[in-house]
């Protein structure tokens, strides 16, 4: 039976992944490593994993990935077959003002996990990267071979560094690594600082929403369920070193995103515009041909359907008291 160690497992994508993995007969144990970072309300993260705590296949460790000694004990006790590394400081704009923190968590933390995965002969190390590595310099749609030397913020730079570090562990120690560059993830259990969540909350509270860049910037929003499927397929792949884009491959403007959100809510927003942040890219657009070829993966949930599901979840779980 396989043991899967998921870092950041109490968070948005991690908890959705664990929920899915618990249904797999081939998975005998799931090890969740999360420090319950207070960047947003830790109660949400505890709520995310609460349904798993009574499952005998699930084990939670409140541990910071910067603490190699603590991680070493977990690896020794649990002997993971696979590592899915989701834990990260992940706010692009905040990373501009907190580069030391982003370097320590996203680079040193990743190095700790690579070292231990090498030592314990993990069958496949899944590194969750980001479309932020492309910055504004790549040609759309962004292919994995595109230019990634000029990310706009320390967050994107830290993800590029993680990919490069992971390659050295494949090259020198034959650790199988699959890097997944995720494009604008959204869906159930999303972080409350991200755009769709914030918009839904403000619209329900009849407060203005912020629209940056006159709403013309485009984003390739990707549903969390599709991302979970990609991660599970990548775990099975486990050959050599790969970088794969995981995106919906259908960018939409923020204006279009707002229209879909208003339709799902049945309410109109009051819009307040602001200039784009200098660390925010103009657009994201995934070329997913390689993921189709290597993993047999492609997105299944349209943005319209995904927003309907997400809005329902928010109303049922976060905003029950709002009309």
pLDDT tens per residue across span 37-74: 999 999 999 999 999 999 999 999 999 999 999 999 99
What is the band of 278 on the pLDDT scale with cuts at 50, 70, 90?
confident
Distance between CA 168 and CA 267 in Å, rounded? 51
160: Cα separation from own chain's centroid:
15
Residues that are catalytic = 155
User: What pLDDT was estimated at residue 318?
Assistant: 96
User: What pLDDT was estimated at residue 130?
Assistant: 98
The count of other CB atoms within 10 Å of the CB of residue 320 is: 8
Global pTM value: 0.97
Helix (H/G/I), strand (E/B), else coil: 32: strand
Q: Nearest Cα to 186, choosing from 178, 195, 177?
A: 195
Instruction: Please give the share of the chain, as a percent, with pLDDT higher than 90.
Output: 92
Distance between CA 126 and CA 113 in Å, rounded? 11
* Residues whose CB is less than 8 angstroms from the CB of residue 230 and which lie 6 or more positions away in sequence, other chains included: 180, 244, 246, 291, 295, 297
Q: Give the mean pLDDT of the chain.
A: 96
Q: Give helix then strand counts, H and E, for the chain.
A: 12, 13
Q: E strands, 213-323, where?
A: 218-219, 222-223, 241-246, 252-253, 271-274
Tens of pLDDT, residue by residue over 305-320, are 999 999 999 999 999 9
User: What pLDDT was estimated at residue 197?
Assistant: 98
- What does each C-alpha distance from 221 to 122, 217, 224, 272 come to in angstroms? 31, 12, 10, 22
pLDDT mean over 93-100: 96
Q: Can you list the domains of the chain with their CATH numbers?
A: 2-188+222-250+285-300 (3.40.50.720)
114 has pLDDT over 90? yes
Helix (H/G/I), strand (E/B), else coil: 312: helix
Both tokens of 117, joined, read 């995965």
323 has pLDDT over 70? no
- CA angle, 67 then 234 then 89, to 5°: 35
* Residues 128/180, Cβ–Cβ less than 8 Å: yes
Distance between CA 266 and CA 66 in Å, rounded? 44
Tens of pLDDT, residue by residue over 127-153, are 999 999 999 988 899 999 999 999 999
User: What pLDDT was estimated at residue 276?
Assistant: 82
* Residues 224/185, Cβ–Cβ less than 8 Å: yes
CA trace torsion 156, 161, 164, 165 (10° rounding): -140
Instruction: Please give the share of the chain, as a percent, with pLDDT higher than 70.
Output: 100
pLDDT mean over 21-32: 96
194 has pLDDT over 70? yes
Distance between CA 294 and CA 276 in Å, rounded? 36
Tokens 């908890």 identify what position?
Answer: 15
The count of other CB atoms within 10 Å of the CB of residue 99 is: 15
Tokens 């190390």 identify what position?
Answer: 125
User: What pLDDT was estimated at residue 304?
Assistant: 98
pLDDT mean over 107-125: 98
232: Cα separation from own chain's centroid:
14
What is the band of 216 on the pLDDT scale with cuts at 50, 70, 90?
confident
What is the band of 280 on the pLDDT scale with cuts at 50, 70, 90?
confident
DSSP bridge pairs for 128: 180
User: What pLDDT was estimated at residue 15?
Assistant: 98
User: What pLDDT was estimated at residue 137?
Assistant: 84
Query: Helices marked H in 174-246 — which ranges?
Result: 195-204, 224-237
272 has pLDDT over 70? yes
């Amino acid at each position: 039976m396989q043991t899967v160690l998921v870092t950041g497992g109490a968070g948005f994508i991690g908890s959705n992944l664990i929920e899915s993995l618990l249904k797999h007969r081939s998975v005998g144990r799931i090890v969740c490593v999360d420090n319950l970072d207070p960047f947003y309300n830790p109660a949400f993260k505890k709520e995310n994993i609460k349904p798993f705590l009574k499952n005998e296949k699930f084990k939670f460790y409140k541990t910071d990935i910067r603490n190699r000694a603590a991680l070493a004990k977990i690896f020794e006790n649990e002997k993971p077959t696979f590592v899915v590394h989701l834990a990260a400081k992940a706010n692009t704009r905040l990373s501009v003002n907190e580069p030391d923190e982003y370097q320590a968590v996203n680079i040193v933390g990743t190095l700790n996990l690579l070292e231990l995965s090498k030592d314990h002969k993990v069958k496949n190390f899944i590194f969750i990267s980001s479309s932020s590595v492309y910055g504004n310099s790549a040609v759309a749609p962004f292919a994995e071979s595109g230019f990634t030397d000029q990310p706009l913020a320390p967050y994107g730079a830290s993800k590029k560094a993680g990919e490069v570090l992971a390659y050295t562990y494949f090259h020198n120690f034959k650790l199988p690594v699959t890097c997944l560059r995720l494009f604008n993830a959204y869906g159930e259990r999303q972080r409350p600082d991200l755009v769709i969540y914030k918009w839904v909350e403000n619209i329900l509270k009849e407060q203005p929403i912020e629209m940056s860049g006159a709403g013309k910037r485009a984003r390739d929003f990707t549903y969390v369920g599709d991302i979970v499927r990609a991660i599970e397929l990548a775990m099975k792949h486990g050959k050599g070193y790969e970088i794969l884009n995981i995106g919906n491959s259908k960018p939409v403007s923020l204006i279009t995103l707002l229209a879909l959100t208003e339709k799902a809510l049945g309410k109109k927003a009051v819009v307040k515009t602001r200039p784009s942040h200098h660390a925010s890219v103009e657009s994201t657009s995934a070329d997913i041909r390689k993921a189709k070829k290597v993993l047999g993966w492609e997105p299944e949930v349209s943005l319209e359907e995904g927003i309907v599901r997400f809005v329902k979840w928010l109303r049922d779980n976060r905003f029950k008291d709002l009309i």
